[in-house]
Amino acid sequence: MKEELLHYAWRMRRFNATALQTTDGEAVEVLHPGQLNTHAGPDFLNAKLRIGHTVWAGNVEMHLRSSDWLQHGHQTDNAYDNVILHVVYEDDAPIQRGNGTPIPCLEMKQRISRRLAAHYQRLIQSEQWVPCASTLGQVSELTLNLWLDRMAAERLESRASKILEQLERNKEGWEETFYQFMARSMGGKVNAEPMQMLAERTPLLLLYKYRHSLFQVEALLFGQSGLLEGTFQDEYPRRLQQEYRFLKQKHGLTAIPTQIWKYLRLRPANFPTIRIAQLATMIYQQAGWFSKAMAAHDLKELNNFFTIKLSNYWWDHYTFDKASHRKAKALGEQTVRSVIINTVAPMLFLYGTRKGDDRIRDKGLDILEKLPPEQNKVIREWKRLGVKTSSAYHTQALLQLKQQYCNPKRCLECAIGNALLKPTSKAEEPWLDEMIGEDWEKNWSLFDLEYHQAFSHTLQPSVQLVQMSI
């Protein structure tokens, strides 16, 4: 038995509530189980219970054994003074609040289905690519699709949250933040951090001062990247170096360390030098990136934003002083798609949310739905398990599911895991009959998702203990 299963049984009411009572013999009725708290403090907040003849509103704490309360030091923590019920798998010690008043205890040892515990154990001990790989086909299409909708939104919200932190550091500068995350996305997985550092060290307003000259924009970005240090044979990097030295002195600039750039196992088209040249060209060709992204009417217009033509030197070079076959080095389709997924969509989603503009907010989701599905190792594995994808919206959802739920085995917080843990008949958990309704099979998936969504919100522990006599 794990404490997570106790949380799940309580949140989903997957326990026998017949003649429910505390270890002291007081009747208990769960009017509302509360909201799961993922921060410090009691496990469930805002619970509403009838204990004896009194209705209480407050917090619920859970442990495998009552004595864990003492081992965790809750008796000296004021955050636990508002606990109205201690839910445990096994009661092995009486527990009191800091002021000496006893805390009602509910023992669940004989109230949780053995089948539920056994099935959960099999999931978390699974060594398959995902815990439910062999049973995924048992999950209804409705449950899977609704959960993937949630995963897509969650991934977008997660990205928007990181952008928001940077936006606040930039004092609500939307264009500056958009530029920094565009640079980050262009760096790919390998050089994302250096590209963002470069953008932060080279403010957009400074680059706009020299937008009339691609040469000067390149001098600023390559100089700030640290890649103009040393001695060069070609005339072009020597000129860039000379120009940067002048601009560095004029504006008091500081370059980032050269050694943070990575080239190992990168295709030449993805070298930092090419990405920086492409970024410089985009700045030279057009200003107001974020405004243009918001104004774009469709995906085609958005893709046109990334159509660029590099300066002559980069047609036959991938790095300084090393000539290559002459070739246009435009942003590849995969790179453009990655930038749209990782920056454009979440920025629009965040802006619409912050400004209360549902049209722009939904535009972030619509973009993902119109992009073709991504192709990578994770998506290929999902496909092998029979999961179909028709757009980047679905592939982003599957990446979120794999990374945030399957890898850490958060099966109890996943609607797919919940569906696989459901009873196969009324006889297994007859106490659920009243909650689910007569049409057992039809209503289970909707019930499962409804309860997950209702109790998966995270709240700060600020609830006060309230007693209401009846």
With 0-12 / 13-18 / 19 or more C-beta atoms within 10 angstroms meaning exposed / middle / buried, residue 153 is middle
Domains of the chain: total: 2
Q: How high is the mean pLDDT of the chain? A: 89
Does residue 390 register a pLDDT over 50? yes
Q: Is the same domain home to 329 and 221?
A: yes
In percent, the amount of the chain with pLDDT more than 70 equals 90
Q: Is the same domain home to 81 and 215?
A: no
Does residue 468 register a pLDDT over 50? no
Query: Which two three-digit tokens encode residue 353?
Result: 């949310």
| 192 found inside a domain | yes
Q: Is the same domain home to 151 and 68?
A: no
Q: Is the same domain home to 45 and 184?
A: no
Report d(CA 80, CA 278) in Å as an integer: 56
Q: Which of 46-60, 116-130, 217-231, 417-431 has the lowest mean pLDDT?
A: 417-431
| 447 found inside a domain | no
pTM for the model:
0.80
Q: Is the same domain home to 94 and 37?
A: yes
| 123 found inside a domain | no
The pLDDT score that the predictor gives to residue 240 is 98
Strands 35-36 and 44-51, sheet pairing:
antiparallel
| 172 found inside a domain | yes
**pLDDT tens-digit profile of 299-308?**
888 988 899 9
Q: Is the same domain home to 52 and 178?
A: no
Query: Which two three-digit tokens encode residue 347?
Result: 């920025």
- Residue bearing the bigger pLDDT, 239 or 440: 239
Report d(CA 81, CA 83) in Å as an integer: 6
Does residue 459 register a pLDDT over 50? no
| 451 found inside a domain | no
| 353 found inside a domain | yes
- Residue bearing the bigger pLDDT, 461 or 439: 439
Does residue 197 register a pLDDT over 60? yes
| 348 found inside a domain | yes
Q: Is the same domain home to 291 and 246?
A: yes
Complete DSSP assignment for 120-155: HHHHHT--SSSTTTTTGGGS-HHHHHHHHHHHHHHH
123 neighbors 131 (Cβ within 8 angstroms): yes
Q: Is the same domain home to 339 and 417?
A: yes
Q: Is the same domain home to 102 and 226?
A: no
Query: What does DSSP assign to residue 341?
Result: I
**pLDDT tens-digit profile of 78-110?**
889 999 999 999 999 999 888 888 999 999 999
Q: Is the same domain home to 103 and 143?
A: no
| 118 found inside a domain | no
Q: Is the same domain home to 243 and 298?
A: yes
Q: Is the same domain home to 162 and 272?
A: yes
Does residue 464 register a pLDDT over 50? no
Domain that holds residue 20: 3-113+457-469
**pLDDT tens-digit profile of 393-436?**
999 999 999 999 999 999 988 989 988 887 665 566 665 555 55
